[in-house]
């Protein structure tokens, strides 16, 4: 079984990873409402962080790109999923609360979320630690797994 914890060095196709992150960052940066005053460097770094987890899922678990604006991936069961990365547990919990509200109100967020904690002790090779899989159930996202997809 392939581990859900990884580092950036575990990504085999660095060119594809960087190209995907750059393309989505540019799309976000070129739109004032999604840029929200952020500088290119911080926006690009944020997309590099998130796309590492997406690239790892594509390379190792058969996920596919959703090919929709600001949508993440399609898992091996054909379900749309959202992949999120943060550098603290508090930030992940805060994000989950925000997504609960957005999903309840707009319903445009997939029913499945994958969260990773990112550790930058080695700035050149950040470590990604799988935190949890969430599913939408009874009006909120609930943890369904902490060790598998």
Q: How many CA atoms lie within 13 A of 128 on its CB side?
A: 28
Report whether pLDDT(43) > 90: yes
Which pLDDT value is given to residue 5? 97
Which pLDDT value is given to residue 2? 75
Which pLDDT value is given to residue 44? 97
Report whether pLDDT(16) > 90: yes
Report whether pLDDT(14) > 80: yes
Condensed to tens digits (0 to 9), the pLDDT of residues 85-134 reads: 999 999 999 999 999 888 877 778 899 999 999 999 999 999 999 999 99
What is the rounded distance in angstroms from the CA atom of residue 141 to the CA atom of residue 127?
Answer: 25
Which pLDDT value is given to residue 1? 60
Strand 80-86 versus strand 112-119 pairing type: parallel
Which pLDDT value is given to residue 65? 93
What is the rounded distance in angstroms from the CA atom of residue 127 to the CA atom of residue 72?
Answer: 20
81-107 as b/e: b if 16+ CB within 10 A: bbbbbbeeeeebeeebeebbeebeeee
- Please provide the average confidence, as pLDDT, over all residues in the chain: 93
Average pLDDT of the segment spanning 69-75: 86
């Amino acid at each position: 079984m392939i581990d859900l914890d990884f580092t950036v060095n575990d990504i085999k196709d660095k060119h594809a990873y960087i190209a995907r992150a750059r393309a989505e960052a540019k799309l976000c940066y070129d739109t004032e409402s999604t840029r929200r005053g952020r500088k290119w460097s911080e926006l690009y770094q944020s997309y590099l962080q998130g796309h590492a987890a997406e690239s790892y899922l594509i390379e190792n678990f058969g996920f596919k790109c959703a090919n929709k604006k600001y949508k993440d991936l399609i898992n091996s069961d054909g379900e749309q999923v959202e992949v999120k990365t943060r550098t603290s547990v508090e930030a992940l919990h805060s994000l989950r609360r925000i997504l609960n509200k957005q999903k309840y109100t707009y319903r445009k967020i997939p029913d499945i979320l994958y969260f990773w904690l990112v550790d930058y002790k080695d700035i050149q090779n950040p470590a990604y630690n799988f935190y949890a899989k969430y599913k939408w159930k009874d009006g909120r996202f609930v943890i369904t797994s902490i060790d598998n997809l």
